[in-house]
Amino acid sequence: MKQSASVTVLTLAVLFTLVLGYGRAIAQDDQSLFQDTVSAYDRGDYEEAIRGFEALASSGVSASLLYNLGNSYARAGQSGRAILNYERALRLAPGDPDIRANLELVRKEKGLFQKEQPLGQRFIGALGLNQWTGLASATFVLLALILLIPDFPWLKPSLRHGIAAVSLVVTITAVTGAVARYQHWSDAVVVVPDARLRVSPFATAASVGVIQEGRLLRPGKNHNNFVLVVDETGRSGWLEREAFEPISTH
């Protein structure tokens, strides 16, 4: 029994070592790929840079990785996929000024002008869904503690009431922000040039116009290979599924 246990421990130790070694190998491979990808971008080989950043993204994404992928697509003249990846990066880092500046630059260059957002919408856009949800949870817990445990010897009643009031206001604001962000969670971006909107979900149906590459849209119901969409200008119609990609990757 002791010998069997020793063999088992040894086997587990070997397996653990192999897993660690594999993890280091993956990390080293990613580091090498990253350096090669950056070199490709620096020398102007943007298609190679896109392939490299896409390969790195298959192992896990970050705001900076998506930002660099968006830059590569923008340099390669693929504005739709550039905007798509900038939007994905903003989901992870909504307050990043570089991501937002490059997104607005590509949109402006392609004539994708948007109406000026009201102050309230800009305020909500300063945080992402996860940040609003986390803030709402934290302030709700604080509010619950204040209400459920009213007797704090070191906390004056007036101060306790003040903290409760502020917590309630912040909780309501954060919930409102989270709901507003969630409503746009399924938004997508047109990634092909001159995608045609149709009056019905058939390839032979009449066209109601062209939807520009890089436009934001909200998908609705599906039928065969078509999706009923509404774009950011308010136009609606049936669009082929391959013409757009969702911003959310999960």
Same domain for 124 and 90: no
Residue 71 confidence (pLDDT) above 90? yes
Residue 114, domain member (yes or no): no
Residue 230 class from Cβ within 10 Å (0-12 exposed, 13-18 middle, 19+ buried)?
Answer: middle
pLDDT in tens, 98-139: 999 999 999 999 888 766 666 777 777 777 778 878 888 998
Q: How many domains does the chain divide into? A: 3
Q: In the listed set 147, 168, 183, which residue is the last one of a domain according to the structure?
A: 183
Q: In the listed set 109, 136, 170, which residue is the last one of a domain according to the structure?
A: 109
Same domain for 101 and 147: no
Residue 129, domain member (yes or no): yes
Residue 77 confidence (pLDDT) above 50? yes
**pLDDT at site 24:** 41
Question: What one-character DSSP code corresponds to residue 187?
Answer: -
Residue 16 confidence (pLDDT) above 60? no
- Predicted TM-score (pTM) of this structure: 0.77
Q: In the listed set 51, 83, 109, which residue is the last one of a domain according to the structure?
A: 109
Same domain for 41 and 75: yes
**pLDDT at site 59:** 82
Side-chain half-sphere CA neighbours of 74 within 13 A: 22
**pLDDT at site 196:** 92
Average pLDDT, rounded, for the chain: 82
**pLDDT at site 233:** 86
Residues paired with residue 197 on neighbouring β-strands, in sequence order: 209
Same domain for 101 and 130: no
* Domain assignment of residue 168, given as a range: 119-183
End-to-end Cα separation, the chain, in angstroms: 48
**pLDDT at site 117:** 64
Residue 29, domain member (yes or no): yes
**pLDDT at site 4:** 42
pLDDT-derived band at 29, boundaries 50, 70, 90: low
E strand spans, the chain: 188-190, 195-198, 207-211, 216-223, 226-231, 236-240, 244-246
